[in-house]
């Protein structure tokens, strides 16, 4: 992703709008609402069946997505601040709420994500934390080891704060 174009332009959406997407169990997009399409700059035909990571911004630490997937794959919901990248290189911040969808047997069949416009103060705090985590990730020549070191830094931060991740997110 090092060659991914970044415009430096931040997009925003109204506080009464909700970005909605749904993925299959592997993270491929199976539904995206109009707000998602507008913010990400993709048509429905371009986005359907693509991995949700198509909108991943390179300044987002991989360890945050590890925490997200580790959480939702166990059947729990998660809230997280996420910086996304639009097709043209613009970016936009969201407060994501991701929940698993279960079949009648209790198996996870898909994931649903609602994203709201975040508070500016929370974005500034998240940016600071994410810069630190990204530095840890990029400071290790082994990508997997770097991501694991950053993940352990997140866990240590939560243990020090004495709160689960969701409470930590809402404290930002």
Q: Which of 52, 61, 6 is nearest to 30 (CA)?
A: 52
Contact indicator for 36, 46 with CB cutoff of 8 Å: no
In a domain, residue 137? The reply is yes
The pLDDT score that the predictor gives to residue 172 is: 87
* In the predicted structure, residue 109 carries a pLDDT above the cut 50: yes
In a domain, residue 94? The reply is yes
pLDDT digits (tens, 9 = 90+) for 114-132: 999 999 999 999 999 999 9
Question: Stretch 131-152: mean pLDDT, rounded?
Answer: 96
The pLDDT score that the predictor gives to residue 2 is: 43
Q: Which of 66, 71, 75, 147 is nearest to 106 (CA)?
A: 75
Mean pLDDT of the chain: 95
pLDDT digits (tens, 9 = 90+) for 90-105: 999 999 999 999 999 9
The pair phi, psi for residue 23, each rounded to 5°, is -125, 160
- In the DSSP assignment, the letter for residue 51 is B
Contact indicator for 68, 79 with CB cutoff of 8 Å: no
Tell me the residue range of the domain where 106 lies.
19-171
In a domain, residue 109? The reply is yes
The pLDDT score that the predictor gives to residue 3 is: 58
In a domain, residue 89? The reply is yes
Q: Taking the mean position of all CA atoms in its chain, how far away is CA 45?
A: 22
Q: Which of 12, 17, 43, 130 is nearest to 81 (CA)?
A: 130
pLDDT digits (tens, 9 = 90+) for 147-159: 999 999 999 988 9
* In the predicted structure, residue 1 carries a pLDDT above the cut 70: no
In a domain, residue 143? The reply is yes
In a domain, residue 1? The reply is no
pLDDT digits (tens, 9 = 90+) for 14-59: 999 999 999 999 999 999 999 999 999 999 999 999 999 999 999 9
Q: The domain spanning residue 81 has which CATH number?
A: 3.30.450.20
Contact indicator for 20, 114 with CB cutoff of 8 Å: yes
What is the tally of structural domains in the chain? 1
In a domain, residue 7? The reply is no
In a domain, residue 91? The reply is yes
Look at the block and give the residue holding tokens 């059947």.
75
Question: How sure is the predictor about 166, in pLDDT bands with cuts at 50, 70 and 90?
Answer: confident
Least confident span in 98-112, 132-146, 158-172: 158-172
């Amino acid at each position: 992703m090092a060659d991914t174009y970044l415009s430096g332009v931040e997009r925003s959406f109204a506080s009464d709008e909700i970005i909605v997407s749904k993925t299959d169990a592997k993270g491929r997009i199976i539904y995206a609402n109009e707000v998602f399409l507008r913010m990400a700059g993709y048509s429905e035909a371009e986005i359907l069946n693509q991995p949700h990571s198509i909108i991943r911004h390179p300044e987002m630490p991989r360890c945050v997505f590890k925490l997200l997937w580790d959480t939702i794959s166990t059947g729990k919901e998660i809230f997280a601040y996420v910086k996304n990248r639009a097709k043209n290189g613009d970016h936009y911040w969201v407060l994501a709420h991701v929940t698993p969808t279960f079949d009648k047997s209790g198996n996870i069949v898909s994931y649903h994500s609602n994203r709201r416009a975040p508070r500016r103060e929370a974005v500034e705090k998240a940016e600071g934390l994410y810069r630190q985590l990204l530095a840890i990730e990029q400071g290790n020549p082994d990508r997997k080891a770097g991501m694991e070191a950053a993940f352990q830094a997140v866990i240590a931060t939560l243990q020090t704060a004495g709160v689960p991740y969701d409470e930590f997110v809402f404290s930002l």
